[in-house]
Structure 1
Amino acid sequence: MKKYILSIYIGFAAMILFGCKKTIDENIRPFNDKADVELLGTLDGLSSATNGNYALLVTSSANDASYDASWFNLSELKGNNLYAITRAFPQTRDDAYTYANSPSQGATTSFWRVSYRIISGTNKIIDAVKDGEDAAHDQIKGENYFLRALAYFNLVRAYGRPYYQNNGDNLAVPLSLNSLVNKDFQPKRNTVKEVYAQVVSDLEKAAALMNLPRSGNPNYYASKEAAWALLSRVYLYMGGTPTAPQNTYNTKAAEYADKVISSNKYTLISGTAYTNAFNSDSKTNKEFIFDFKHDDANGNFINEFLAPRDVFGNPWQGEYTASPDYMVLLNQNPSDLRMSFITVETDKRITATDKSRNTVNKYNYQQIFPLGGFDFSAKSRSGTSYLRLAEMYLNKAEALAKAGNTNDALTAVNVVRTRANAPAWTTATLATAGLTVFQAVFNERRLELAWEGNSSFDNFRNGLPLTRSYIDYFFSAPLTIQPDDKRIVYPIPLVELQLNPNLQQNPQ
């Protein structure tokens, strides 16, 4: 029997099974012996179930890769900040990089399924909590609205075309907004515009409801400011292109960025604190607004894409380095502190005479070794940054640049630029460099937010082609992908098409 809900493995049951065993919260209590009604009838139960939803961001479950590892694959490997130096796992880990877009062998299946597990789990809690019961219940409900919005926003970016194309009327993903789905639930795909509207609605509700910070206020729990930060990003994605801006949305992007900045809850860290920002426990990072927390039970798998074999003795890892394009941009200012996020190493797998590689070390904090001291991976305890304060300044700068507010845009981008020990831009130095304010902001986003889930999206949402002006393991000539190319979005997984005949596949 075709059951669409089975394609997401009854998300709440999966949440309970895996959330309690692989927790991100040290104080979580097992709850897989409770029925849904009992579990969701108490504040403790709702909190535990919500922790299970957070855990789904970092756990591997039901033979699917972890959410954040799949998201890194889908978001970063289509960009031009990474460079393939070898092929370790055919298809699975290079499908996005090569734009092959297999509907069955890439990361798309795991990402789709885990995304809808998160959505199913959040729907259960949202439906169980009455509005206005008390501040504690409101907080729990708001956190789940935030998680649902995050899941849908990443889904619409992966499977739907940029917002400006066809006025948002292209197909995206199905919206499932309550827990009362049955075996016959086989929804059609909603449009990009409809999914964005739902994301905005969820985040507005989340921001209104979240007024009680979690104990210790760690940044791997959602907060009012996290909802504002994601709203800033969402509106920026709705803000059109430099040549055809939608300044109603750009104004919103800047306003929400300002709300986060003026909250004074986060700090744009500098100096050695900045150069060590990704080489420490992420929960102590005062710049992170929201991140995915990793621990020994749930190691960060992203590092395995990046760590060279010679470091950990593993013949199957470390396919990607910082790209030559990225290094050219970074090397324009030799004193740039972002040099610290690159480690120059030797990799014998490189076939060229020069075997040096520019290893990305943002995910290399404390590799996790199993008992016996040998590992067939390079998992680490690094947190995965999803939202941080630097992006708020850059969101504001881009939105203002599109609106023609040159002076304020330069002020915002220079906050990030000078923090990294790069010279501030002026109208005169921009003219000398042959750059517009928007181009300067665009380059700064690339420098600052590299390998954090933005690559390629920043190009395509702005109507810009993505160019790799280098050859690598897969390509014998430079690669250019236009923003209207059918390959910029991922295919719907084949198993989902089989389970739900109402789903329409993306053009292949």
Structure 2
Amino acid sequence: MITKIYKSFILTVAVLGFSSCVNNWLDQTPSNGIPTSQAITNYNDTKTAMYGMYDGLQGNSKYNEYYAARMFYYGDVRGDDMQARDQGMRTSSCYEMRYTVDDAPAIWNIPYNVIRRANRIIEAVESKTISDADKYQKEINDIYAQAKVVRALVHFDLVRIYGNPYTSDNGKSLGVPFVDTALPTDAQQGRETVAKIYEKVIEDLTDAVNSGALHKSVKVGEKQGFIDQWAAEALLTRVYLYKGEDALALSTAKNIIENSPYDLWAADEYADAWDKMSAKHTKEMMFELINNGTDDWADREGIGYLYNEDGYADAICTKSFVDMLKVDQNDVRINVILPVQMKTDDKGKPTDLYKKYGEEPVFINKFPKGQQGDPRLQNLPILRLSEVYLNAAEAGVKLGGSAVDDAVRYLNELIKARSVDANSANVVDAGNITLERVLMERRKELVGEGHRFFDAMRNNETIVRYESQDNIGWHYALNEDSRKFDRTYFRTILPIPVSEVNANPVIAKQQNPGY
């Protein structure tokens, strides 16, 4: 690839030792990884490298450009269901979409660093440099398969951010560089097409899923914080859906729903289950990033703190979304959106937040303070069973024919699990189920988890924040282009970071249009 990306790979755990001002990355030894100058030579090295790989997916308070925070709010506030609360917030740049190539938010170095870590594991296993592999063959094969899934996940995320949706042109436009090996320092790898990236992502995922090496959990929570067989298949359903491979998305989702140990949270479990200390938490949580303490968390820069009123109160739900959710008073999902808690200040006067929002539910509480009393310590959800149900329903509607019956069944199971009314009037049948209905359930179910913007773009929906002062809601003033747009708006994909463009003349000629 390019010199800049190569350098970002060099550090095994960038979030703990990354510095763009020095070149001593090869010598750094993070607490949860091994230095890249040291080969992976035994099973313990392999395990250590695996921990570093997973740790890199999150980041810390200094480097939070991936799942620590930015990957979530990038997919949330760029849509129509969440927004930055005010100008100058951490989420404001993504929300306002006024950036240029020089100041655009980046989700690049940390993801490619994770790919580097995954590749190190893959290469060590394939080159047979692990001296005690015979003794730990099963465990090593499992780690190897997990590394392939992580490599697929990260490339998939990158191509969603920097490439057009596959469905817009069948993947003909440029995506990102796909990196599946260590690169020399002078490498200048260019971008591959979106179609090629999807092909390689699916190849990694199917290799892992079909290998038989991934742990196949028979009860929930067995591999909490790590990818098991079911999580890998769940990611595969997502990728198939984004690619428009609806039959494969449906069949893969069916297998998970019918055979995995995971189950949907019941209506009376839903609100409390988001707390990782809840006994029901792992019931439908298929893969999440674990925060065991302050060594793991992203502190005040993490998504839990950004979305919490007692934190930065950085991003909130839009009024249009809240109004949509409140239509069904039996829907328990309203219970994870909180109104302002601090209504008065120490002088008994209404706080600014309460004066603006009153009793309206505005703050996402999917990273609650919970039993540990701190939202920064909550885990980060990546794959849930509810998404698998929604993937199946969406694929079934798009396929039509007999697959509509599957769509009806799976959507209704989710609707019933989210209603205090066992005979919910909101259930659908083959005569009235529509794609719009399925997508509405996706919005209600996945809000705050970084999905809405990507869902809208791949389905060629128009994002409407507001069109006039009459429906501005809680939005603050935006440029006209950012008030209402579809996937033809060039800022719906980010520019390749300027540091990459400056370092690599190949990519310099492949910058995204409009920048």
TM range (shorter): 0.7 to 0.9
Tell me what 2:50 maps to. Answer: 50
Q: Which residue, out of 253, 258, 276, partners 1:257?
A: 253
Structure 1 position 155 matched with structure 2 position 155: no
Report the secondary structure of 1:12's partner residue.
coil
Cα separation, 2, equivalents of 1:117 and 1:31: 13
1:440 to 437, 440, 443: 437
Residues of 1 paired with 2:192 and 2:54: CA distance? Answer: 25
Q: 1:126 and 2:149 equivalent?
A: no
Do the aligned residues in 2 keep the contact of 1:337 with 1:420 (CA within 8 Å)?
A: yes
C-alpha distance after superposition, 1:440-487 (max 9, x if no partner): 111111111111111111111011111124421233879211122211
Q: Which moved more, 1:183-192 or 1:72-81?
A: 72-81
Determine the C-alpha separation between the residues in 2 that align with 1:475 and 1:61. 29
- Cα distance in 1 for partners of 2:125, 2:249 equals 30
Q: 1:457 aligns with which of 454, 473, 477?
A: 454
Inter-CA distance 269–367: structure 2 relative to 1 (3 Å threshold): closer
Q: CA deviation at 1:64?
A: 5.5
**Amino acid corresponding to residue 185 of structure 2 in structure 1:** K
8 Å CA contact retained: 1:136, 1:212: no
Q: Which residue of 1 aligns with 2:228?
A: 223
Distance 1:359 1:287 in 2: 23
- What are the within-5 Å matches in structure 2 for residues 1-80 of structure 1? 3-12=3-12, 14=14, 32=34, 35-37=37-39, 40-60=40-60, 63=63, 65=65, 67-80=67-80
For 1:331 and 1:61, the matched residues in 2 are separated by 35
1:323 matched to 2:289: no
Q: What do residues 104-126 of structure 1 show as CA deviations (whole Å, max 9, x unaligned)?
A: 43431xx2000000001111110
Q: Which residue of 2 aligns with 1:382?
A: 378
- Tell me the alpha carbon deviations over residues 133-184 of structure 1, each in whole angstroms, 9 at most, x when there is no partner: 63221101001001111101100110010102222111110011112x1111
Q: Which residue of 2 aligns with 1:391?
A: 387
Question: What TM-score does the superposition give when structure 1 sets the normalisation length?
Answer: 0.84
Number of residue equivalences: 463
SS of residue paired to 1:272? coil
Against the structure 1 CA distance between its residues 65 and 168, is the aligned structure 2 distance closer, same or farther, given a 3 Å change threshold?
A: closer
Change (3 A) 1:217 1:84: same
Q: Which moved more, 1:400-409 or 1:294-303?
A: 294-303
2:308 and 2:375 in contact (8 A); partners too: no
1:287 aligns with 2:284: yes
Displacement after TM superposition at 1:262 (Å)? 2.0
User: Unaligned stretches of 5+ in structure 1?
Assistant: 19-27, 240-248, 370-377, 431-435
Native 8 Å contact 1:146 1:206 kept in 2: yes
Q: Is the 8 A contact 1:29 1:48 kept in 2?
A: no
Aligned CA distance change for structure 1 residues 306 and 31 (closer, same or farther; 3 Å):
closer
SS of match in other structure, 1:57:
helix
SS of 2:273's equivalent in the other structure is: coil
Equivalent residue number for residue 189 of structure 2: 187
Q: Is 1:361 aligned with 2:365?
A: yes
- 1:272 Cα offset (Å): 2.6
Q: Contact 2:234–2:383 (CA<8 Å) still a contact in 1?
A: yes
Q: What residue identity is the alignment partner of 2:143?
A: I
- Secondary structure of 1:290's aligned partner: strand
State the partner residue of 2:306: 305
CA-CA distance at 1:423 after TM superposition: 3.1
Q: Which residue of 2 is the match for residue 82 of structure 1?
A: 82
Distance 1:420 1:496 in 2: 45
Q: CA 1:95–1:476 in structure 2 vs 1: closer, same or farther (change >3 Å)?
A: closer
Match of 2:498 in 1: 494
The alpha-carbon deviation at position 263 of structure 1 amounts to 2.3
SS at match of 1:490: coil
CA offset at residue 350 of structure 1?
4.8
The alignment-based identity, stated in percent, is 27
Structure 2 Cα separation of the partners of residues 196 and 502 of structure 1? 21
Q: CA deviation at 1:35?
A: 4.8
Rate the CA distance shift 1:29–1:492 in 2: closer, same or farther, 3 A. Answer: closer
Q: Return the offset for 1:344.
A: 1.2
How is 1:166-205 mapped onto 2 (pairs within 5 angstroms)? Answer: 166-179=169-182, 181-205=183-207
Render the CA deviation track for 1:312-357: whole Å, top value 9, x for unaligned.
Answer: 5xxxx21321111211221111011101111111483459765445
Change in CA separation of 1:72 and 1:282 when aligned onto 2, cut-off 3 Å = farther
Aligned twin of 1:412: 410
Contact kept in structure 2, 1:5 and 1:182, CA below 8 Å = no
* Conserved? CA contact 1:250–1:399, under 8 Å: yes
Rounded to whole Å, the distance in 1 between the matches of 2:356 and 2:74 is 31
**How big is the shift at 1:259?**
1.7
Of 360-369 and 402-411, more deviation after overlay is shown by 360-369
CA distance in 1, matches of 2:47, 2:486: 45
Residue type of the alignment partner of 1:446: R
Q: Which moved more, 1:230-239 or 1:287-296?
A: 287-296
Q: Provide the residue aligned with 1:206 in structure 2.
A: 208
| Residue of structure 2 in register with 1:24 after alignment | none
Task: Specify the SS of the correspondent of 1:168.
Answer: coil
The alignment's TM-score, normalised by the length of structure 2, stands at 0.83
Q: Which is worse superposed, 439-448 or 74-83?
A: 74-83
In structure 2, the CA distance between the partners of 1:428 and 1:176, relative to structure 1 (3 Å rule), is: closer
Tell me, in whole angstroms, the C-alpha distance in 1 between the residues paired with 2:91 and 2:33: 35
How far the C-alpha of 1:237 sits from its partner, in A, is 0.5
Distance in 1 between the 2:273 and 2:102 partners? 37
Deviates more, 1:347-356 or 1:252-261: 347-356
The verdict on how the C-alpha distance between 1:139 and 1:474 changes in structure 2, with shifts beyond 3 A counting, is same
Distance 1:55 1:139, change over 3 A: same
Instruction: Decide whether the 8 Å contact of 2:411 with 2:438 is kept in 1.
Output: yes
Unaligned 5+ segments in structure 2 are 19-29, 344-349
Q: Hey, what does 2:512 align to over in structure 1?
A: 506
**C-alpha distance in structure 2 between counterparts of 1:271 and 1:156, whole Å:** 35
